[in-house]
Chains A and B, each alone.
Chain A
């Protein structure tokens, strides 16, 4: 089990395959410092603690480190306007609001007094990316420190200007106030038109959690009105003078090689250009219908060389190509303990590939000027995309600017810069700004997937039903959430790499969804084999108080002890911990005895992630995780064969809709005494095993694959 305070991952998890990939295209053709952008006012530059860790994780050659030593910066203009710059980006997890809350608290300002600039590589400090649930645990304290340092400095300046004791001053609502004399000065006034800047480190004292006034409370989305009135501009909405629409010709199957291209007909269309560079073929046109016509008019011949592996042979193939990669735990002697155990239970759990399907597909607008390129794109890693562009076009990074307007979500699926590179290549060739928005079919086919995997678990119990041995081998899906959360003296926990037939990468919660599903299903099996209550069996093996607390909270809210089963219905419980968050989920399902249709009637999640920053947003994130997790639990699955995706539309790939959503109940367990951990991912982990266990309770049918019942149960 993770140490309670271990919330900042400093290494890249194995299953973030997309970050280790070779560049997407090899074209045959061969910072600006934000400091100088600051005008008068006060700037606080905060040196990041983990600069080197960030650098090594950027996936490319090390970038320059001078200004990159800064983790965040904050500026107070002469009129008192507060601007905060961070490399984190907004994809619906609402950090534009929660990070502003952190600064507002330290600066004693209202939330709307703070402007957040996020994910613009020319304006914000280097950041590895918005993933791993690190925005709240890592970035919020940094911004707090910057805010606190600015506040302390403003008090110094106030004491000077007002010629009073510093201790007699307070910061209230954007002013330094001397209560005794009634005199005060605004934050902006205190800078007196000077250009002040100070670099601080991580030692600044922060407002204690108990004294938060803005953070710790619910705050609605700061720019919510823009979204409900349709005025927010997503990456797909960016327009530039002379903008052309770009489309890319996709191969008929993965790995196909272009042999010949006849583009005569397409070139004859009004305003159409065709760009070919190596295996890359794209068209541009003045309008969308014309771009579609041009793409359809291309006639290409491909050499196909797809892998013979299909969804039907996936698990066999993974097993056949597995190679040991990492031992997460090797304690005691598993083989001996299994040999002498009273009962040995061995099972295999299969996990299918699934897709993120953010509702806004990949999108980018690229514009070149004087040899430099600016790209607006939806990505969780603007600096990663900058590095990709710099490599693809052989440009110094200073000549690449990536701007990330708040985008239509990501869920770990937008770490890469495909659309950005494609738009930039087309814009370079045509001399016009170009927009590339992937179609839904492209997003389903050419993005990367949540890895499929095979998990083998062998457990041994003694005569009293206590665990004595545990072996967990995960092939391909990854190592997150793989560590055994229950007490067992002998354990071997291993991750094995395998050959993946599909492009794969990060997904919300990473492999903890798969690993916790397998472990929590297995634990449930053991409890039922013994005829013991599944919750009691878990608690009996649990030493971690935080985990036990969320189990207790979820069970209490559901009414686990007094649950009353009616025919066709069942209850399940499951839980786990990852990235400093603890989740326990209970589900009640109903199985239609005639059709086999499974419906989740009710789901309860108890979640604890340290001190709560914004309860409203936290609830929203947990509910969203449960709904998304329900899709992967019950029916989401990528079908593929012969190097093609068979499920490249919402008609063929089912995602949760209104009628799938159960009554959701969220219990927040607040621990103001602990640092805040991220909440966007871990709550997704409990729902699949809770549903699977509930299906067993209802029907006696044990399901060991995700998705559990894509076409309902065979009854």
Chain B
């Protein structure tokens, strides 16, 4: 493999050195300083490391850098814009959907991907889509409320 790889992260082209055997999670955190994406298990079981690759939620601990070259990667740092927080980020604050906050970035990324697929997800759809994300502090009900709230905001925006 080459001595470096090129990734597109949050709209920027970034270079990652010694990509061989390196997980996307490690590249984001250690090479690119994007530490908002977290390690929770390294085996695809907790969702703390969730990012979007071409809009789909993936576990960055399971992907190697080589597998995402040329694709568009979004991490939690890429959600807020100059206009402010993403509606789901705002909804997390309004619903107080976090305690220690360690799961929050992964939860938000899974939720953003869900809302992109379903503008008005049912409770069952939320549970199904987010079952792979663990919140050890147990804020699940609040996270569901946050996703529902963000969906409402999203609908209002697209109607208005």
Seen from chain A, the residues whose Cβ lies within 8 Å of a Cβ on chain B are: 91-94, 220-221, 224-225, 227-234, 236-237, 239, 245, 287-290, 292-293, 357-361, 406-409, 411, 437, 439-440, 616-617, 620-621, 623-628, 649-651, 655-659, 661, 664
Q: Which residues of A contact B101 (CB under 8 A)?
A: 92, 221, 224, 227-228, 232, 406, 408
Q: Which residues of A contact B138 (CB under 8 A)?
A: 623-628, 656, 661
User: Are the C-beta atoms of A360 and B40 separated by less than 8 Å?
Assistant: yes
- The answer to whether the Cβ of B52 comes within 8 Å of any Cβ in the partner chain is no
CA distance A239 to B35 in the complex (A): 10
* Chain B min CB distance to A177 (Å): 33
| A interface majority secondary structure | loop
Q: Which residues of A contact B144 (CB under 8 A)?
A: 658
Q: Which residues of B contact A627 (CB under 8 A)?
A: 138-140
Q: Which residues of B contact A440 (CB under 8 A)?
A: 40-43, 45-46
- Among residues of B, the one whose C-beta sits closest to the C-beta of A363 is B39
Q: B76-107 toward A: CB 8 Å interface, digit per residue (1/0)?
A: 11011000010001101110101111111100
User: Are the C-beta atoms of A230 and B137 separated by less than 8 Å?
Assistant: no
Given known pairs A626-B138, A649-B45, A664-B141, the reply for A288 and B96 (CB within 8 Å) is no
User: Are the C-beta atoms of B137 and A92 separated by less than 8 Å?
Assistant: yes
Nearest 5 Cβ contacts at the A-B interface? A230-B36, A627-B138, A92-B100, A408-B102, A227-B101
Q: Which residues of A contact B100 (CB under 8 A)?
A: 91-92, 358-360, 406-409
**Contact sample, A vs B, 12 pairs, CB 8 Å cutoff:** A92-B100, A228-B98, A229-B89, A288-B22, A288-B23, A292-B21, A406-B101, A623-B139, A627-B140, A628-B136, A649-B41, A661-B141
Q: Which residues of B contact A659 (CB under 8 A)?
A: 127, 131
- Among residues of A, the one whose C-beta sits closest to the C-beta of B33 is A239
Q: Which residues of B contact A657 (CB under 8 A)?
A: 131, 133-134, 140
User: Are the C-beta atoms of A650 and B41 separated by less than 8 Å?
Assistant: yes
CA distance A225 to B91 in the complex (A): 11
Q: Which residues of B contact A661 (CB under 8 A)?
A: 138, 140-141
Q: Which residues of B contact A224 (CB under 8 A)?
A: 92-93, 96, 98, 101
Given known pairs A287-B22, A658-B127, A658-B130, the reply for A230 and B41 (CB within 8 Å) is no
- Among residues of B, the one whose C-beta sits closest to the C-beta of A664 is B141
- The answer to whether the Cβ of B56 comes within 8 Å of any Cβ in the partner chain is no
- The answer to whether the Cβ of B149 comes within 8 Å of any Cβ in the partner chain is no
CA distance A651 to B104 in the complex (A): 21
Seen from chain B, the residues whose Cβ lies within 8 Å of a Cβ on chain A are: 18, 20-23, 26, 29-30, 33-43, 45-46, 48, 75-77, 79-80, 85, 89-90, 92-94, 96, 98-105, 108, 126-127, 130-131, 133-144
* Chain A min CB distance to B80 (Å): 6
Given known pairs A93-B99, A657-B131, the reply for A649 and B108 (CB within 8 Å) is no
Which of A407, A628, A657 has the most B CB atoms < 10 Å from its CB? A657
CA distance A664 to B138 in the complex (A): 11
CA distance A225 to B89 in the complex (A): 8
CA distance A407 to B136 in the complex (A): 13
CA distance A439 to B80 in the complex (A): 30
User: Are the C-beta atoms of B18 and A221 separated by less than 8 Å?
Assistant: no
Given known pairs A228-B89, A228-B104, A409-B102, the reply for A651 and B45 (CB within 8 Å) is yes
| B interface majority secondary structure | loop
CA distance A707 to B38 in the complex (A): 29
* Chain B min CB distance to A708 (Å): 18
Q: Which residues of A contact B80 (CB under 8 A)?
A: 229
Q: Which residues of A contact B85 (CB under 8 A)?
A: 225, 228-229
* Chain B min CB distance to A152 (Å): 34
- Among residues of A, the one whose C-beta sits closest to the C-beta of B132 is A657
Q: Which residues of B contact A292 (CB under 8 A)?
A: 21
* Chain A min CB distance to B40 (Å): 5
Given known pairs A649-B45, A651-B43, A655-B136, the reply for A293 and B21 (CB within 8 Å) is yes
User: Are the C-beta atoms of B130 and A229 separated by less than 8 Å?
Assistant: no
Which of B75, B92, B136 has the most A CB atoms < 10 Å from its CB? B136
- Among residues of B, the one whose C-beta sits closest to the C-beta of A655 is B134
CA distance A91 to B104 in the complex (A): 14
- Among residues of B, the one whose C-beta sits closest to the C-beta of A356 is B136
* Chain B min CB distance to A242 (Å): 13
- Among residues of A, the one whose C-beta sits closest to the C-beta of B139 is A624
CA distance A626 to B138 in the complex (A): 8
Q: Which residues of B contact A220 (CB under 8 A)?
A: 93-94, 96
User: Are the C-beta atoms of B38 and A288 separated by less than 8 Å?
Assistant: no
User: Are the C-beta atoms of B41 and A94 separated by less than 8 Å?
Assistant: no
* Chain A min CB distance to B65 (Å): 10
CA distance A408 to B50 in the complex (A): 16
Given known pairs A228-B108, A625-B138, A656-B138, the reply for A649 and B102 (CB within 8 Å) is no
* Chain B min CB distance to A404 (Å): 13
Given known pairs A228-B85, A237-B35, A360-B38, the reply for A658 and B98 (CB within 8 Å) is no
CA distance A621 to B42 in the complex (A): 28
Q: Which residues of A contact B23 (CB under 8 A)?
A: 288-289
User: Are the C-beta atoms of A650 and B45 separated by less than 8 Å?
Assistant: yes
- Among residues of A, the one whose C-beta sits closest to the C-beta of B94 is A220
Q: Which residues of A contact B48 (CB under 8 A)?
A: 359
- Among residues of B, the one whose C-beta sits closest to the C-beta of A410 is B100
User: Are the C-beta atoms of A289 and B26 separated by less than 8 Å?
Assistant: yes
User: Are the C-beta atoms of A620 and B96 separated by less than 8 Å?
Assistant: yes
Residue of A287, A288, A439, A620 near B139 (CB, 8 A) is A620
User: Are the C-beta atoms of B38 and A408 separated by less than 8 Å?
Assistant: yes
User: Are the C-beta atoms of A221 and B105 separated by less than 8 Å?
Assistant: no
User: Are the C-beta atoms of B45 and A229 separated by less than 8 Å?
Assistant: no
CA distance A237 to B94 in the complex (A): 26
User: Are the C-beta atoms of B26 and A359 separated by less than 8 Å?
Assistant: no
* Chain B min CB distance to A624 (Å): 4
Q: Which residues of B contact A651 (CB under 8 A)?
A: 43, 45
Residue of B30, B37, B79, B93 near A288 (CB, 8 A) is B30
User: Are the C-beta atoms of B40 and A228 separated by less than 8 Å?
Assistant: no
Residue of B46, B127, B140, B141 near A359 (CB, 8 A) is B46
Given contacts A221-B98, A287-B26, A406-B100, 15 further A-B contacts (CB under 8 A): A92-B101, A221-B101, A225-B93, A230-B76, A232-B36, A289-B22, A293-B21, A359-B103, A359-B136, A406-B101, A409-B136, A620-B99, A658-B140, A659-B131, A661-B141
* Chain A min CB distance to B158 (Å): 22
User: Are the C-beta atoms of A229 and B79 separated by less than 8 Å?
Assistant: yes
User: Are the C-beta atoms of A94 and B38 separated by less than 8 Å?
Assistant: no
CA distance A621 to B100 in the complex (A): 11
Q: Which residues of B contact A288 (CB under 8 A)?
A: 22-23, 26, 30
Which of A94, A625, A661 has the most B CB atoms < 10 Å from its CB? A661
Given known pairs A220-B96, A439-B42, the reply for A230 and B26 (CB within 8 Å) is no
